[in-house]
Structure 1
Amino acid sequence: MRWHPYGYGGQRRDPEQVKRDGWNEQGLLAVAIDDDRLTWPERELVRHLGEKLYGKRPAGQVVRRG
């Protein structure tokens, strides 16, 4: 018999599923500023919200998608 503690083993959810679950279950929204599904005005809105809540990003900051 194999026993794994909760959170170990099994299938890992892909990052998009984690984001989707966070939105549906807790009302949390995780958005990449360079998400291709967003239009330019939507990306600007995300950038403005991020700056309002967390401050400006350091100059020269590279956006990485994983």
Structure 2
Amino acid sequence: MRWAPPGFGGKRRSPEEIKREGWREQKVLVVSETDPRLTWPERELVRQLGDKLYGYRKEARHGRLDP
């Protein structure tokens, strides 16, 4: 019989499960701007929040004025 320490082996959680638990337990939201479940206005809101909190992405700065 083989023994593995906690965190090694067993069932690995999917990224969606980790995101769901992060929101429910820590109130941390992880969402992709390209998530197909979002409407265009929702994706735009995600992009604007990311820009405001973390700055513009390098590829997104082209054609924009710095705040």
TM-score, normalization: structure 1? 0.84
Shift of 1:2: 2.5
Distance across 2 between alignment mates of 1:7 and 1:45: 36
What is the match of residue 17 of structure 2?
17
Q: Distance in 1 between matches of 2:19 and 2:7?
A: 17
What's the TM-score, normalizing by structure 2?
Answer: 0.83
Structure 2: segments with no counterpart, 5+ residues: 61-67
Highest Rg: 1 or 2?
2
What is the letter of the counterpart of residue 59 of structure 2?
Answer: A
Structure 1 unmatched ranges of 5 or more: 61-66
Q: Indicate the residue corresponding to 2:4 in structure 1.
A: 4
After superposition, what is the alpha-carbon deviation per residue over 1:11-31, rounded to whole angstroms, capped at 9, x for unaligned? 001111110011111111000
CA shift, 1:53, in A, is: 0.7
Structure with bigger RCO (C-alpha 8 Å, 6+ apart): 1
Runs of 4+ in 1 over 2 A off after TM superposition: none
Q: Once the 2 structures are TM-superposed, how far is the Cα of residue 47 of structure 1 from its aligned partner?
A: 0.3
CA RMSD of aligned residues (A): 1.2
Equivalent residue for 2:51? 51
